[in-house]
Every structure is written in C-alpha cells, then in structure tokens.
A and B are shown apart, each in its own frame.
Chain A
C-alpha cells in the first residue's frame, strides 16, 4: 500500500486553517473564565437556534418561534501564526443540547474538562461524552477558594479515569495556568494521535 498519497503535500500546511479545543465541565465551573483568560480578545458569544426537541432546524417554514430555543456558546481565538488559528469553545452546560456538543466536538483536537472538587460529579457527563467519542481530554481541577484540596490521585480515582488521562490543578482566571492546561492537553492529544496513526 502506498501511504504517500494519504500524506498532504508539504506546503499544504501553509494554507490558513483552524483547529479547536473544547472547554467543558459543569455549570459555573469556570469554562468562560478560562476561555477568556487565554484568548486574545474577551470571549465572544454565538448562538444556535434549535427546536425544543434539541435538534437543529432544517426548515424554518412551519416552525413557530416559540417552539425554538437558542443555545449560546462562548469562544475565543488564539492566532498561532498567519496560517494557523486556534479556537477555544466553552461547551454549553445544558446536557440536553447534545446536538451542539456533537457539532462542537466534531474535529476538535481535544477537550479540557474543568472540575470543581466541591461538585465533582458535575463533570461526569463531560467525561463520559469524550471517552465515548474518543476525543482526547484531560481533567483540570479549578481551585476555588474554600474548596478542600484533594490530591490529584484522589481526583483521578474518584473520576475512575484511565491512568493516561492527565489530571492537573489550575486557576481558570490565570493566563499562565490556562496556558499550561492547554499545552498539556495538546501534548496528550499529540501522543494519542501519533499512537493511533502508527496502528492504522
């Protein structure tokens, strides 16, 4: 088999392209804060209009406005170079908007799952979702004041995580902390990508 043909020609990477990383986790855990801390502008907000059943609208004729609902997504941009732009998307917290989660996670290179040790169970749905989809992710414990400090291995055990999944502490308000989380995630995603590529 000739693998050469599946490789993009060198130089193709110079065409502008975009990649995305998701920031997920429970309600109020600091997703938007983290997106804002590390992005080049304050978080932008965009909306999708969905039908009440949570699916996207294909045909607006016959759809009354009251049968629709909007779901908001916060996101930020980091321009890596002239030809590479990284977008960070905070996932909408409401679990019923799986349609939007599916759209967001499609092609995402990885996800940050933010956790608050006072409400650790809030991040279970995010973890289940990314495990199921095979999206590389890590868990970043956002250190709110007054929260009891858990050891990282305690968090890892409580979340029943694969030992390969990085778990780290962070402060979602801090640019350097958010940066470190993202670098750890991309390194992790690169490892997974390289391992999968070798198997293929």
Chain B
C-alpha cells in the first residue's frame, strides 16, 4: 500500500487518525460552533478571495473559504469536504467569528415564504 500521490493533509490524517476520529480531530474535539446555528440550507459566501493560514485555522477552514467563493449551502460544504454536518458547523462558527464568511439564513427561518417565491420556483422548474 502506498500513499504516493496523496496530499500532505491526507497522509497526516491517514497516519494519525482513522476515518471515525477525523471529524473530531478537525474541530479539536469541539461539537458546537462558537457562534451561529447553521441550517443545512443556510447559504455561505466567503468574504475574501483567499485567506492565508493563521493561528487557529486549519486546512479545512481554508478549504471552506475556497469552496464558498461561489455561494454554497452548509449541506454542500459538508458533502464536498466529506465531513459530517456537525463538524462543518463548528468550522463555520470559527470562520464567522473572524468575519471570513457571510451567512444567509433560509427563507423559512425568516418567515412564511412570500407568494412570489412559490411563483418563482414554479416558473423556474417549468424552465428547466
């Protein structure tokens, strides 16, 4: 078995942590974000083009900033990084505390969706 071709992060993870442990290693064992609740479909946008590594930010934090150059939901971030949603929430809390990401809550948590939103969805689906 060879790790050739794998990224440095992957080697680190493979050497020191199993797949079950990895999510907790990523958050330093934290289960709750320092701030924010992060619905599965909250939309996340990075506030900066890129972020240089700094104390307290790991490669996964930087990966989220990279991904969120285009608006992504919390669920999409979790899927693309192959991390459990709970882990991603913790990472997003760290990023939000540093104002590195902007969160747009889903329509449903803001209130009853407008009639116009239903119409937009119907028209959007028809146009698919």
Could you tell me which A residues sit within 8 Å of B by CB distance?
6, 8, 13, 15-20, 38, 44-49, 56-61, 65, 70, 73, 75, 77-78, 80-81, 84-87, 89, 103-104, 106-109, 175, 179, 182-183, 186-187, 189-190, 193-194, 196-197
Q: A16-B71, A86-B124 are in contact. List 17 more A-B contacts (CB 8 A).
A: A13-B116, A17-B104, A19-B113, A20-B106, A20-B108, A46-B84, A48-B86, A59-B32, A89-B40, A89-B75, A103-B40, A107-B39, A107-B107, A108-B108, A179-B125, A189-B118, A190-B119
The 5 closest A-B pairs by CB, nearest first: A107-B108, A80-B124, A190-B118, A44-B79, A60-B31
Residues from chain B with a CB closer than 8 A to the CB of A103 are 40
Residues from chain B with a CB closer than 8 A to the CB of A197 are 112, 115
CA distance A187 to B85 in the complex (A): 31
- Write the nearest CB–CB distance from A177 to chain B, whole angstroms: 12
Could you tell me which B residues sit within 8 Å of A by CB distance?
20-21, 23-24, 29-32, 39-43, 45, 71, 73, 75-76, 78-80, 84-86, 104-122, 124-126, 128
Quick check: B84 and A16 within 8 Å, CB to CB?
no
- Using A44-B76, A65-B21, A190-B118 as known contacts, say yes or no to A78 and B85 having CB atoms under 8 A apart: no
Residues from chain A with a CB closer than 8 A to the CB of B42 are 18
- Write the nearest CB–CB distance from A168 to chain B, whole angstroms: 15
Residues from chain B with a CB closer than 8 A to the CB of A104 are 40
- Residue among A46, A65, A193 with max Cβ neighbours from chain B (10 Å): A46
- Write the nearest CB–CB distance from A70 to chain B, whole angstroms: 7
- Using A17-B106, A18-B42, A70-B84 as known contacts, say yes or no to A80 and B121 having CB atoms under 8 A apart: yes
Quick check: A48 and B43 within 8 Å, CB to CB?
no
- Using A46-B75, A80-B124, A81-B124 as known contacts, say yes or no to A60 and B30 having CB atoms under 8 A apart: yes
CA distance A108 to B71 in the complex (A): 20
CA distance A73 to B84 in the complex (A): 11
